[in-house]
Amino acid sequence: MLFARRSPIAVDLGTRAVKLLQLVQRHGELFVQDAVCVEIEPGARDAAERALRAAHALKLAYRRGEFRGREAIGAIALERTTTRSLRVPRHELEDLQGTIARDADELFGPEAEHYAAQWLQVGERIERGEHRTEILCCYAPQAAIRESLDGFAELGLSATALDLDACAMARPFARRGEGALALLELGAQSARVCLLREGEPVLMRVLSTGGEALLARLRERLHLDRRALDELAAECAGASERAEELERAFGGALEAPLEALAAGLSECLRYAAASGAGRGVERVLLVGGAAEIPGFAPLLGARLQLSVEVGDPFRAIGATGGLPQSLRRGRSTYATALGLALRGLAA
Q: Where are the alpha helices (DSSP H) in the chain?
A: 47-64, 96-108, 142-154, 165-170, 211-222, 226-236, 240-253, 255-274, 296-304, 313-316, 335-346
- Predicted local confidence at residue 279, as pLDDT: 64
Higher pLDDT, 321 or 119: 119
- Predicted local confidence at residue 241, as pLDDT: 66
Record the pTM: 0.90
Q: Please tell me what DSSP assigns to residue 237.
A: T
The mean pLDDT value for 162-174 works out to 94
- Predicted local confidence at residue 17, as pLDDT: 93
- Predicted local confidence at residue 1, as pLDDT: 42
Q: At what angle do helices 255-274 and 240-253 cross, to 10 degrees?
A: 90
- Predicted local confidence at residue 59, as pLDDT: 94
- Predicted local confidence at residue 41, as pLDDT: 93
Q: What pLDDT digit, counting tens, does each position of 224-244 carry?
A: 777 777 677 666 655 556 667
Residues 34/23, Cβ–Cβ less than 8 Å: no
Distance of CA 31 to the CA centre of its chain: 21
Distance of CA 119 to the CA centre of its chain: 17
Residues 115/108, Cβ–Cβ less than 8 Å: yes
Q: Which of 142, 148, 141, 96 is nearest to 119 (CA)?
A: 96
Residue 130: pLDDT band (50, 70, 90) is confident
Residues 178/199, Cβ–Cβ less than 8 Å: yes
Higher pLDDT, 322 or 84: 84
How distant, in Å, are the alpha carbons of 96, 187, 255, 291 from that of 229? 49, 17, 17, 12
The mean pLDDT value for 99-109 works out to 95
Q: For strands 307-310 and 283-287, give the pairing.
A: parallel
Q: What is the spatial distance between Cα 341 and Cα 23, in angstroms, rounded to a whole number?
A: 6
Residue 322: pLDDT band (50, 70, 90) is confident
Looking at the DSSP bridge assignments, the partners of residue 64 are none
Looking at the DSSP bridge assignments, the partners of residue 11 are 20
Output the average pLDDT for the chain: 88
Q: What percent of the chain has pLDDT over 70?
A: 94
How distant, in Å, are the alpha carbons of 67, 239, 278 from that of 329? 21, 17, 32
Higher pLDDT, 238 or 255: 255
Residues 184/192, Cβ–Cβ less than 8 Å: yes
Q: What is the spatial distance between Cα 236 and Cα 200, in angstroms, rounded to a whole number?
A: 35
Q: What pLDDT digit, counting tens, does each position of 14-51 carry?
A: 989 999 999 999 888 899 999 999 999 988 899 889 98
- Predicted local confidence at residue 240, as pLDDT: 59
Q: How far apart are the first and last CA of the chain?
A: 19
- Predicted local confidence at residue 243, as pLDDT: 64
Residue 308: pLDDT band (50, 70, 90) is very high
The mean pLDDT value for 116-125 works out to 86
- Predicted local confidence at residue 236, as pLDDT: 61
**Domains annotated on the chain, with CATH:** 206-310 (3.30.420)
Query: Is 107's pLDDT higher than 60?
Result: yes
Q: Which has the minimum average pLDDT: 38-47, 91-100, 120-129, 271-280?
A: 271-280
